[in-house]
Amino acid sequence: MLLQIADLHARVAGKDILKGVNLEVRAGEVHAIMGPNGSGKSTLAQVLAGREDYEVTGGSVTFEGRDLLTLPAEERARAGLFLGFQYPVEIPGVNNVYLLKAALNAKRKAAGEPEVDAYEFLALIRQKMKFMQMSESFLTRGVNEGFSGGEKKRNEVLQMLVLEPKLAILDETDSGLDIDALKVVSAGVNSLRDPARAVVLVTHYQRLLDYIVPDRVHVLSGGRILKSGDKSLALELEAHGYDGVLGAQVA
Amino acid sequence: MSGKSQEVEALLGQKYRHGFVTDIESDSLPPGLDEDVVAAISQKKNEPQFLLDWRLKAYRHWLTMQEPSWAQVHYKPIDYQDISYYSAPRAPANAPKSLDEVDPKLLATYAKLGIPLHERARLAGVAVDAVFDSVSVATTFKDKLGKAGVIFCSFSDAVRDYPQLVERYLGTVVPAGDNFFAALNSAVFSDGSFVYVPPGVRCPMELSTYFRINAAKTGQFERTLIIAAEGASVSYLEGCTAPMRDENQLHAAVVELVALDDARIKYSTVQNWYPGDENGLGGIYNFVTKRGECRGRNSKISWTQVETGSAITWKYPSCVLKGENSVGEFYSVAVANNYQQADTGTKMIHIGRNTRSTIVSKGISAGHAENTYRGLVKILPSASGARNFTQCDSLLMGPKCAAHTFPYMEVKNPTATVEHEASTSKIGEDQLFYCLQRGISAEDAVNMIVSGFCKVVFKELPMEFAVEAQNLLSVSLEGAVG
């Protein structure tokens, strides 16, 4: 089991948001977490990534058998957990590629590997950028500085492709994308699918799941996963809405 | 982020690295200031009469002046009678004639600071003048510069060897009575650096002066005068350090730059005077007057400063743009951590036609520090077509620090263009978390974010010093974000 979440409770600013989340993700799987606004989807993503303003009040999370919750955020990242941010932040003056190289080297150092060679790195990043249909100007720009919404999301996926995480949690990576960008981003995610890795997609829209077909779909509502199923659950949600599918459970 | 802040608190243990004291015999005047002290300084240096007269005039003017109180800084009143106005390492009989005669302890001090004075050990292409307490101890590469016709020596040597140049230019940019601290400096200045680049000469190497305060209870009052004649160009850098002491020490320097027709002067400062401890005890009061005059057509003066040290910084490197088409620039990074206070900025005085100025100021505040940008852009009626662009950005680290911006503008010519941009941002938890989530340590993340913020200024520094400035910045801010 790659990721095992048991009875997870968490609060933000004194408010209980997660109220007993249970979820198991095996290597090789793609899971989609859907749910109405305010159901706790982003909170779950942030808690897993280790953001400290999110207080875990109960339950446990193991990642490859290790207790994830005791690790600081940077160690979770180096262990192979990647969060694609819903709103990637701008860091003016810090070169986009410089940050990515620092990130890759931090991960390699933690794994006892030597730092990446500058030329090899440049070749790698050029190749991944081409795949993500990003212009060369991204090599010299500041981290997310002046990027459009769609460019920011592509940049998140680019980082993911370079860092090759074991578990990628993508928080609404599809929001704000036009159909062409959605295809590029989806192709990026699919290229990472591998028997050794898993992806958790947090999304509002079934549309994304046409391109990245999930193994499991979960509905998170009121801080708990109320229903799980295969990809047909997403279609059912689209047809009948959360109220229609969850019925009396939501009240 | 409590776990993080403990980690960075520990890093803060990295104290000021230049805080040692050199045990060396020095020849000091007892504390106190009157006309006899002024005369004694002048006599010790065998100065010509014009300079003694100039000093005494400045002293008498100083007595009539009030210490300025308008800056956004707070300190206990300074007792000017409790300061020694002259301290020199005692040399056998006369001043050293070559490096071999310099006290080895002094050379060791500079080696400890990373400034080997022996020419062969020095970075190729950088000539160094080192000022210890009040006196210049060595100037390297004098011969090579001499071949190009460039004069680079201590101020005292210049007074002895080139009195006519000193008399012609001294006080022409910063008059003796310009302000309280400049007047004090004019009365008691002891040494500093002097540069003259003759017409048409591009100075073949970077010039650099390192200032070091060693003795207790002394003030350092150095004076620097740089003249770039017609078509000449020069790049000059100063660095500053001091021992850690519990009492505050006064540093009141004056720097004057003169650029004649088509001349260029680039003046860079990496200032790391002792800032006081984490509770605000001790540290240098850095009350400095720096001004450059673009006297000739098409001349250019550019100030770049990275200010990380001092308990209190009060300085406004300025440009008086007299010559037609002359250009003034000011690029500044001012860092204030713990209880440091910085009130710094620039003045751009546009007098000539089509004069241009650029101001880029980056203020970083952390701990309980106060960081103020104060700038004046003045466009006189004669300055048709003048242009100014000002950008002031502040970065706050933590909840207890403060940033203030006071941009003054006086535009008296309708054809002038003045632009001002300002921003204040916090090192967001968001930026920090973004980096952490990519596996980057908190320390590296802060360094990265801060140097990104300062990038436009660092790229103005000479290459060798940009690296030094970057390192200094990370040491100054270690542990500043929790």
Contacts of A51 in chain B (CB under 8 A): 433
Contacts of A91 in chain B (CB under 8 A): 431, 434-435, 448-449, 452
**Torsions phi, psi for B192 (to 5 deg):** 155, -160
pLDDT tens-place string over residues B206-243: 887 776 665 555 667 889 999 999 999 999 888 766 55
Q: Which residue is closest to A71 within chain B, CA to CA?
A: B3
Using 50, 70 and 90 to split pLDDT, how confident is the model at B90?
Answer: low
**Token duo for residue A222:** 């009121």
pLDDT tens-place string over residues B22-46: 665 666 778 888 999 999 889 888 8
The verdict on pTM exceeding 0.90 is no
Measure Cα distances from B431 to A72, A200, B216 in Å.
16, 23, 43
pLDDT tens-place string over residues B276-319: 777 767 777 888 999 999 999 999 999 998 888 777 888 899 99
Which pLDDT belongs to residue B246?
A: 60
**Torsions phi, psi for B41 (to 5 deg):** -60, -45
B466 versus A150: which is more confidently predicted? A150
Using 50, 70 and 90 to split pLDDT, how confident is the model at B4?
Answer: very low
Ranking A7-11, B78-82, B259-263, B286-290 by mean pLDDT, the lowest is B78-82
B436 to A74: CB separation less than 8 angstroms, yes or no? yes
Which pLDDT belongs to residue B367?
A: 82
pLDDT tens-place string over residues B317-351: 999 999 999 999 999 988 888 788 888 899 999 99
CA distance B354 to B372: 30
Which pLDDT belongs to residue B8?
A: 36
Contacts of B436 in chain A (CB under 8 A): 50, 72-74, 77
Q: Which residue is closest to B448 within chain A, CA to CA?
A: A94
Q: Using CB atoms, pick whichever of A72, A93, A159 lies closest to residue B3.
A: A72
B453 to A163: CB separation less than 8 angstroms, yes or no? no
**Token duo for residue B271:** 């200032």
Which pLDDT belongs to residue A46?
A: 95
Which pLDDT belongs to residue B221?
A: 86
Which pLDDT belongs to residue B237?
A: 84
B119 CB burial (10 A radius; 0-12, 13-18, 19+): middle
Which pLDDT belongs to residue B2?
A: 37
Please report, rounded to a whole number, the percentage of residues in chain B having pLDDT higher than 90: 37
Which pLDDT belongs to residue A203?
A: 92
Q: Using CB atoms, pick whichever of A73, A99, A163 lies closest to residue B433.
A: A73
Please report the sign of the dihedral spanned by the C-alpha atoms of residue B449, residue B450, residue B456, residue B459: negative
Which pLDDT belongs to residue B136?
A: 58
B456–A contact, CB cutoff 8 A: yes
A77 to B451: CB separation less than 8 angstroms, yes or no? no
Contacts of A94 in chain B (CB under 8 A): 448-449, 451-452
B440 to A99: CB separation less than 8 angstroms, yes or no? yes
pLDDT for residue B93 is more than 50: no
Choosing among A69, A89, A113, which should be mutated to test the B contact, i.e. which has the most B CBs within 10 A? A89
Which pLDDT belongs to residue B205?
A: 81
Contacts of B421 in chain A (CB under 8 A): none
CA distance B75 to B343: 13
* Cβ pair B162, B229 in contact under 8 A: no
A102 versus A136: which is more confidently predicted? A102
Greatest distance between any 2 Cα atoms in chain A: 59
Which pLDDT belongs to residue B285?
A: 83
B370 versus A188: which is more confidently predicted? A188
Ranking A134-138, B129-133, B221-225 by mean pLDDT, the lowest is B129-133
pLDDT tens-place string over residues A118-135: 889 999 999 999 999 998
Using 50, 70 and 90 to split pLDDT, how confident is the model at B443?
Answer: confident
Which pLDDT belongs to residue B102?
A: 58
Measure Cα distances from B97 to B42, B103, B108, B136, B137 in Å.
21, 12, 18, 12, 10
A103 to B431: CB separation less than 8 angstroms, yes or no? no
Contacts of A110 in chain B (CB under 8 A): 439
Using 50, 70 and 90 to split pLDDT, how confident is the model at B92?
Answer: very low
Contacts of B431 in chain A (CB under 8 A): 89, 91
Q: Which residue is closest to B430 within chain A, CA to CA?
A: A89
- What does DSSP say about strands B126-132 and B135-139: parallel, antiparallel, or unpaired? antiparallel
Using 50, 70 and 90 to split pLDDT, how confident is the model at A251?
Answer: very low
| B78 C-beta neighbours (distance < 10 Å), count | 15
**Token duo for residue B54:** 């100039």
Q: Using CB atoms, pick whichever of A52, A77, A93 lies closest to residue B439.
A: A77
